[in-house]
Amino acid sequence: MGRVAEAIATLFFLVTLTFLLAHAVPDGPAYAILGLKISPERLNALNTQFGLDAPLWRQYATWLWHLLHGNLGFSYLQTRPVAAVIGAYAGRTVVLYTVATALAAVAAIGFGWLHGVFYRSWPGRVCSGIELFLYAMPGFFIATVLGMVFGSWLHVLPACGMADLHQAAPGLADRMAHMVLPASSMALFVTPWLARIFAQGVHEEFSRDYVRTARARGVGFGSILLRHVTPNAIRPMVTMLGLSLPAIFSGNVVVESVFDYPGIGWLLWRSAVAHDYPVLVGIVLVLGVATMLGNLAADLVNAWLDPRVTYAE
């Protein structure tokens, strides 16, 4: 319970900070809407219309009051409520996120097995080298190279958008094809990191007594790996997956902007470029909640994987 209260306090702090920063520049929003070359009359008219001439504390109070009623504000750019804008984009990101996380988890487990089992011999070292290489590569470069190779050179996968615009009604197959490059890029950002954590776990678990005992009882290698070692080694990885949600989101912004995939990351990018402050503040709020929920989910999964783990304080 204490943790939830703390998380909510943190979130409140963040959102307040973002709001204040966005409104700290007087006339900032008005310039953002109408451009820098506007007459003072129009500037004043707009400020009055949007209530931007009120003192900052009153703007904040009004905004907070509306927030408590589920109103996130109004997008300058798209001229519709922020909640509707975010709602329209969020679903696509959730889908992308889910596919990418599933891909990353599967790849990390496969790679981690190889790395963990051969930790000190050459296959392990090769794995380690690949992990380090991918880890050091900037995400936007990985995404760009994937797009260049598979989209532009080989022409095997679409590298732009979320559906083929030439078709009247793009089918599921088309949407899945458009998902391949963004999802695998996102997965590639996290896989080396997760695989490494998992591999370390596998390596450590293999030197434990219970593994020796199981071996002495004649349990086969596959069974030890799958039934004994993996469930124990996977827990740190799940925790990290939860903790790294903010970092994964940074990757998401990059991927969505490289592949023009219209999700939350793309929206954040376009809103930043176009100075659409209400949407920016709204996204920070939504992300904060998502991160909290993500951490909670990781805790729950961990408690389910290991009954000894409790989070009561």
Partner 1 sequence: MLNKLATGAAPLVLLFLFCLLGPAIWPTDPAALNVGAPLAAPSLSYPLGTDALGRDELARLIHGGRETLSVAVPATLLAFTLGTGYGLIAGFASGILARLLMRLLDALLALPSLVVLLCGAALLPLNRVTVGGLIGVTAWFALARVVRTEIMSLRERDFAQAARQLGAGPLHMARRHLLPNIARLLTVNATFLLGDSVLALSALSFLGLGVPPPAASWGSMLQSGIGLMDLGAWWLILPPGFLIAGSLFAAASAGRMFLSEASNQQTKVFWFFSSEKNSLPSS
Residue 134 or residue 177: which is nearer to partner 1 going by CB? Answer: 134
Q: Which of 39, 79, 121, 152 contacts partner 1 by CB under 8 A?
A: 152
Tell whether residue 156 is a contact of partner 1 (CB under 8 A).
no
Q: Facing residues of 74 across strands?
A: 81
Long-range contacts of 63-68 (CB under 8 A, 24+ apart): 63/19, 67/285
Within 8 A by CB and 6+ apart from 305, the residues are 231, 234, 235, 238
In angstroms, what is the minimal distance from the CB of 138 to partner 1? 5
Tell whether residue 150 is a contact of partner 1 (CB under 8 A).
no
Tell whether residue 197 is a contact of partner 1 (CB under 8 A).
yes
Q: Using the CB atoms, write b or e for 209-228: b if 16+ within 10 Å.
A: eebeebeeeeeeeeebbeeb
SS3 content of the chain, % helix, strand, coil (to 5): 75, 0, 25
Residue 110 or residue 138: which is nearer to partner 1 going by CB? Answer: 138
Q: Which of 268, 278, 282, 285 contacts partner 1 by CB under 8 A?
A: 268
How many residues are given for the chain?
A: 313
Residue 3 or residue 227: which is nearer to partner 1 going by CB? Answer: 3
Q: Which of 271, 278, 282, 285 contacts partner 1 by CB under 8 A?
A: 271
The DSSP secondary structure of 71-101, one letter per residue, reads: ---B-TTT-SBHHHHHHHHHHHHHHHHHHHH
Q: Which of 4, 8, 10, 223 contacts partner 1 by CB under 8 A?
A: 10
Within 8 A by CB and 6+ apart from 127, the residues are 111, 114, 115, 118, 195, 199
Residue 193 or residue 206: which is nearer to partner 1 going by CB? Answer: 193
Tell whether residue 1 is a contact of partner 1 (CB under 8 A).
no
H/E element, 112: helix 82-117
In angstroms, what is the minimal distance from the CB of 176 to partner 1? 23
Q: Which of 73, 116, 147, 263 contacts partner 1 by CB under 8 A?
A: 147
- For 74, phi then psi, to 5°, come to -130, 130
Tell whether residue 273 is a contact of partner 1 (CB under 8 A).
yes
DSSP-based three-state secondary structure for 81? strand
Residues in touch with partner 1 (CB under 8 A)? 6, 9-10, 13-14, 18, 21-22, 24-25, 28, 132, 135-141, 144-145, 147-148, 151-153, 189-190, 193, 196-197, 200, 240, 243-244, 246-251, 253-254, 257-258, 268-269, 271-273, 275, 277, 280, 283-284, 287, 291
